[in-house]
Structure 1
Amino acid sequence: MKTLLLLILTVWLNIESSSGTLSSSCSYAPSKWCSSLDSAIQCGVLKQCLEANFTRSHQKEDRIEVGLYYESLCPGCRGFFTEMLFPTWILLQEIMTVNLVPYGNAQEKPDGQKYKYECQHGETECLGNMIETCLMNMTDYSGLIIFCMESSPDVIKSAQSCLEIYDPKLTWDSVMSCVKGDQGNQLMHQNALETGALKPPHQYVPWITINGEHTEDLQNKAMSSLFTLVCGMYKGTKPEACGGAKRHYKSYCHNE
């Protein structure tokens, strides 16, 4: 039955969207076009989504997990995230997952039933760490929002506008409620525990792990070319970006 439905949908799309034009009724961001059948149809990209899902379903190897232990205002962290990690993540999302842990060299101190934090670059960095932590718990667009923040001249001042661009349905008030409340405090505590459990213990940030492992060799390779490292380590069928077989279907917006 599923095979028949897939065939019907594919034939339907070949007829309905042969022009490759994005539907004007699409209300989803590009990263969510393939999140459901409804979104794919509404946005006129069902054929692309079917092909992408077919490719993912045939990937038998585990994805490469890249862990980044960082601080929101650390210059080296910002440079690595915006210039190396995020572009690689976009290109290799089929074979790569990312675990972001904003904490780094912060210090945690018990304060009754909660915790207080001192950050390497001051209270503003603690705020940035907390905003990004809450975003990761509240929206599927957190990677895009954090990239927007970290690539801007002012990480904190850009946070609200970045949120409004990538997830306008999530209110800034709800994010700040998390930041100032028990939820954010507990989420940051988990970041502290995860960072403190690193083996070997982190000595600096950005601190990079690959599939949960950190060595100086992996760190240096990731800092030099994370793209090359992930492509080389992935054991399954290489995606086109890594030099694998080209996909058969391409979508273009033709001149009419």
Structure 2
Amino acid sequence: MSKFLVFLAVLAVALAQTEHDHHSHDEHRVNVAVYYEALCPDSIKFFNKQLYPLLNNPKLGHYVNLTLVPYGKSTMKNENGQIMFTCHHGEGECRGNKLQACTLKHIDDGKNSEGLGYNKMSVDFINCLMETVERNGDNTKYPTESCAKKSNITNMVPAIEKCQGDAEGSELLKQLGDVTNKLKPELTSVPTIVFNNEHKAEESKLANDNFVKALCNHIQGTKPMVCNSAALLGLNSLMVLFALISYFF
């Protein structure tokens, strides 16, 4: 085979991979559940630095079916018919967990955004809440108004805040607690990341350190280019083309 034919073959593969990267493949999505806490520093770091950037990566975000479980190491008990919570980082975290539970329920009724395995506005809003709380170091009041404006959900703030402050928020948090308490093996650290409903400590640790790599390990079939080490450095099809041209000509 001539060098030119080899060049054409490699170019076709590169272009096909690029086409693959730019489409949503529902059948290739990975179920990802994140068990975390609203004020946990490690949870905030994972959400802001690992999860949120990946979801906004056009080559990877489409591969995630996301379930968020903001409960963590909280505990609950029934006192005279009222559910009472004790949260890992205090009462402020209980409010934050409830606020996020209400967010997941009320924004677009919890429906996924078109073409995605999660609700983008909910994720944008929660990321802003956690990022702002960490930066300001103040958990006495969550920046719902400013984060709602940033996430284009200003009309939903009254419903979310009402939910957080009444029995609905407690019931939603209880449901998340029930889900967390059923995790096997049981949750011992946060955040805990579970892939395809199988809780494996080594995978959760990898996800905390390198969520891109952990997700790529679970994508079936042809993987997006970003899953390759060269792609992680930003190598794209155009660069491949230039390299091939230089080599063959």
TM-score clears 0.5: yes
Shift of residue 105 of structure 1? 0.9
Q: Report if the CA contact (8 A) 1:221-1:229 is conserved.
A: yes
Following the alignment from structure 1 to structure 2, what is the Cα–Cα distance between the partners of residues 114 and 62? Answer: 43
Q: Report if the CA contact (8 A) 2:31-2:196 is conserved.
A: yes
Match of 2:155, SS state, is: coil
Aligned length: 196
Residue in structure 2 matched with residue 238 of structure 1 by the alignment: 223
Q: Report if the CA contact (8 A) 1:66-1:211 is conserved.
A: yes
1:145 to 125, 128, 131: 125
Match of 1:205, SS state, is: coil
Match of 1:151, SS state, is: helix
Following the alignment from structure 1 to structure 2, what is the Cα–Cα distance between the partners of residues 82 and 234? Answer: 22
Q: Which amino acid aligns with 2:202?
A: D
Shift of residue 247 of structure 1? 9.0
1:127 aligns with 2:95: yes
Following the alignment from structure 1 to structure 2, what is the Cα–Cα distance between the partners of residues 104 and 146? Answer: 16
Following the alignment from structure 2 to structure 1, what is the Cα–Cα distance between the partners of residues 189 and 207? Answer: 15
Following the alignment from structure 1 to structure 2, what is the Cα–Cα distance between the partners of residues 61 and 173? Answer: 37
Q: Which amino acid aligns with 1:234?
A: I
Identity %: 29
Residue in structure 1 matched with residue 202 of structure 2 by the alignment: 217
1:102 aligns with 2:70: yes
1:160 aligns with 2:128: no
Q: Report if the CA contact (8 A) 2:71-2:177 is conserved.
A: yes
Residue in structure 1 matched with residue 159 of structure 2 by the alignment: 174
Q: Which amino acid aligns with 1:84?
A: Q
Shift of residue 143 of structure 1? 0.3
What CA RMSD, in Å, does the superposition of the two structures yield over aligned residues? 2.6
**Higher RCO, 1 vs 2 (CA within 8 Å, ≥6 residues apart):** 2
Q: Which amino acid aligns with 1:146?
A: I
Shift of residue 234 of structure 1? 0.5
State the 4+ residue runs in structure 1 displaced beyond 4 angstroms.
Answer: none
**Cα distance change of structure 1 residues 119 and 96 upon mapping to structure 2, 3 Å threshold:** same
Match of 1:194, SS state, is: helix
Shift of residue 240 of structure 1? 4.1
Shift of residue 157 of structure 1? 3.2
Following the alignment from structure 2 to structure 1, what is the Cα–Cα distance between the partners of residues 76 and 47? Answer: 24
Shift of residue 72 of structure 1? 0.5
Shift of residue 192 of structure 1? 0.6
Residue in structure 2 matched with residue 69 of structure 1 by the alignment: 35
Q: Which amino acid aligns with 2:31?
A: E
Match of 2:210, SS state, is: helix
Q: Which amino acid aligns with 2:185?
A: P
Q: Report if the CA contact (8 A) 1:74-1:121 is conserved.
A: yes
Match of 1:175, SS state, is: helix
**Unmatched tracts of structure 1, length 5 or more:** 1-50, 249-256
Q: Report if the CA contact (8 A) 1:60-1:236 is conserved.
A: no
**Unmatched tracts of structure 2, length 5 or more:** 1-18, 108-118, 239-249
Following the alignment from structure 2 to structure 1, what is the Cα–Cα distance between the partners of residues 204 and 63? Answer: 19
- The superposition leaves residues 37-62 of structure 1 with CA deviations (integer Å, 9 ceiling, x where unpaired) of xxxxxxxxxxxxxx99x933xx3634
Shift of residue 132 of structure 1? 0.8
Residue in structure 2 matched with residue 31 of structure 1 by the alignment: none
Following the alignment from structure 1 to structure 2, what is the Cα–Cα distance between the partners of residues 195 and 64? Answer: 20
Match of 1:120, SS state, is: coil
Match of 2:35, SS state, is: strand
**Cα distance change of structure 1 residues 247 and 67 upon mapping to structure 2, 3 Å threshold:** farther
- The superposition leaves residues 138-179 of structure 1 with CA deviations (integer Å, 9 ceiling, x where unpaired) of 114110011111112246432321012213442422211111
The structure with more helix, counted as a fraction of residues = 2
TM-score normalised by the chain length of structure 1:
0.69
Q: Report if the CA contact (8 A) 1:73-1:121 is conserved.
A: yes
